[in-house]
Amino acid sequence: MDFAGNSKKSGRSARNKKQFNRVGHNLQFYKIPPTGEISLQEFEEYAIDRLKVLKAVEVAGIRLMKGSPEYIQKLQDELRKTSLGHDLIRTDKKEDKDFRQKDLVSHFILRLAYCRSEELRRWFMQQELDLFRFRFLREGPDSRDEFLRENSLNYEPISDDLKTELDGELRAAAGSKSGVVDTIEYFKVPFTEVFDLVSKRKVYLQDGYAYVSRDDMISIVITHYRSHLSHSLAVTTRALPHLEEDGRLLPMLCGLSKRYLGQDFNAKKSNVGEITADMIETLSKKSFPLCMQQLHQSLRQNHHLRHGGRQQYGLFLKGIGVSLEEAMRFWRTEFCKAMDVDKFDKQYSYNIRHNYGKEGKRTNYTPYSCMKIITTNPPGPGDFHGCPFKHMEVDMLAQKLRGQHISKDNVEKISKCVKTGHYQIACAQYFEATHNIRNPEDSASININHPNGYFLDSYKLLNGPKEGTKPVPNTPKVIKVKVEGTGTPSSQTNKQSDLNDMDDDDLIASMETDM
């Protein structure tokens, strides 16, 4: 892939491959786009590696207070699970050119993928800024100074005389850290560069200037980075139409923001053993996430589910270990309470066999991830698929939760998360509430990315690991939780992602039975 976009691709020699522009520091503002060539496969690998890093940053930032020791520890643990993240927190990477180039290139690829809408841009900016802050604070004082010099952020410390003059004000602003005022340098900067410090009343202000301690310089750096990144994303958006000329890149870039990076929960890998049709009712009450409970209850009440519901629920059941024979028995028993067996066999059994790869293209379809359920195919009237935390009215959701005897405090906590758009966090809080998890350490380790992951975690918590199964590394004290970005090779992930998307013929065939 030519990042410069102006070279004669066919004539470029193999020697030039990967000759990217030199990066002089571990940290970057990513001002100069990379020029060089990488293969499409590397392009995708870099994108997924960085996406895993940003997801790790998101996971740590949503559940814990940014900057707190718990947050730093959690972020380090999460980053260590990803290949790029592992390199990011390595302390021996001085002058590691490969790492720096991968950092640069992967940032620019995701910039292309995440510039397409306001929502995506906001998410990308937030994670990149948090990642930058974390990395900047890990650098030593000399490295930070070098970075500031390289980026022309040359602020002069105020003189000793001025510092003595402002001693009382600086100590008052430093609060509990007033003891270090004598030993630390202060910088005079326009207050517009440190809005966050001003809003937290952490700086002394005089005549439009803020007096910022060296420890708080990160605020200035972040302000510059935010403004640069915001501008760059807007510029990239305008350049996006040119990419449409390359039919290979755009679909991949568009799919990145919806991509699930964790385990695929294929039925073959389910390690809770076979689940029979008779067990589903009990399990739905104990271990199903709310989305699947809703589908199950609706099926029980109406003896029918429309296509979207059958797909979401059918693949979930397959993923928890329901065999094709048991699935057929389950659906037939329920549907045939409202129709005769002939009609069921003619109109619905094809769809069930299709999900198990026995019809059409014979593809072994994988269960839907939370991201897919939340972002695609919203439910219409008469539909029961989707994610209740995303698609249900907040008042209705609260009423449903109260009906399940969830405490008032927990209902409020969940509703608050839903209102701020953190649907998976709301689901994690629902998991905590319904599994009586109170230990903050265990709470912090719950991340819901997949309905089948929810089921597996719940099943293991309630029943203990199945005999003969090996414990999974990094298992928290009480439960094992999957976190996005754990150990799925990119090529495999891509394949799984593709498998989730039916081709038109298959889709039309199954839609024909939708009533």
Q: Which residues contact 81 (CB under 8 A, 6 or more apart)?
A: 52, 56, 474, 483, 485, 486, 487
Nearer to ligand SF4, 291 or 483 (CB): 291
Contact 250, 244 (CB under 8 A): yes
Nearer CB in complex with ligand SF4: 121/391? 391
Q: Site residues for ligand SF4, window 364-383 (CB under 6 A)? A: 370, 373
In the complex, minimum distance from the CB of residue 70 to ligand SF4, in angstroms, rounded to a whole number: 23
Residue 32 or residue 462: which is nearer to ligand SF4 going by CB?
Answer: 462
- Which of 288, 348 has the CB closer to ligand SF4? 288
Q: Is 289 in the site for ligand SF4 (CB under 6 A)?
A: yes
CB of 344 to ligand SF4, least distance (A): 27
Asked if 448 interacts with ligand SF4 (CB under 6 A), we say: yes
CA distance 366 to 191: 53
Complex with ligand SF4: residue 222 or 426, whichever CB lies closer: 426
Cβ-based neighbours of 78, under 8 Å, separated by 6 or more:
56, 57, 59, 60, 85, 483, 485
Token code pair at residue 143: 């490295």
Task: Give the Cα separation of 315 and 261 in Å (integer).
Answer: 18
Angle at 72 between CA 477 and CA 81, to 5 degrees: 60
**Closest distance to ligand SF4 from the beta carbon of 390 (Å):** 7
**387 binds ligand SF4 per the rule CB under 6 A:** yes
* Sequence-ordered alpha helix ranges (H) in 175-245: 195-199, 217-243
Q: Is the Cα torsion angle 293, 298, 299, 304 positive or negative in sign?
A: negative
Nearer to ligand SF4 by Cβ, of 423 and 459: the residue is 423
Q: Minimum distance between the CB of residue 488 and ligand SF4, rounded to whole angstroms? A: 18
The answer to whether residue 456 forms part of the interface with ligand SF4 (CB under 6 A) is: no
Give the DSSP per-residue string, 109-137. Answer: HHHHHT-SSHHHHHHHHHHHHHHHHHHHH
Window 425-444: contact mask with ligand SF4 (x via CB under 6 A): --x-----------------
Contact residue for ligand SF4 among 28, 311, 351, 424 (CB under 6 A) = 424
Q: Does 290 bind ligand SF4 (CB under 6 A)?
A: yes
Q: Which residue lies nearer to ligand SF4 by CB, 132 or 455?
A: 455
CB 60 within 8 A of CB 131: no
d(CA 42, CA 38): 6
389 binds ligand SF4 (CB under 6 A): yes
Distances (CA, A) of 444 to 59, 65, 71, 177: 9, 11, 10, 29
Q: Which residues in the 66-105 window bind ligand SF4 by CB under 6 A?
A: none
Tell me how far, at minimum, the Cβ of 314 lies from ligand SF4, in Å: 15
Is residue 291 exposed (0-12), middle (13-18) or buried (19+ Cβ within 10 Å)?
A: buried
218: contact with ligand SF4 by CB under 6 A: no
Q: Is 427 annotated as a binding residue?
A: yes
With CB under 6 A as the rule, give the number of residues binding ligand SF4: 14
Question: CB of residue 426 vs ligand SF4: minimum separation in angstroms?
Answer: 7
In whole angstroms, what is the distance from residue 147 CA to residue 177 CA? 26
Q: Is 454 in the site for ligand SF4 (CB under 6 A)?
A: yes
Which secondary structure element, helix H or strand E, spans residue 206, and what is its range? strand 204-206
Which residues are near ligand SF4 by CB under 6 A?
Answer: 289-291, 370, 373, 387-389, 423-424, 427, 448, 451, 454
- Binding site for [4Fe-4S] cluster, by residue number, is 291, 370, 387, 427
- Binding site, by residue number, is 291, 370, 387, 427
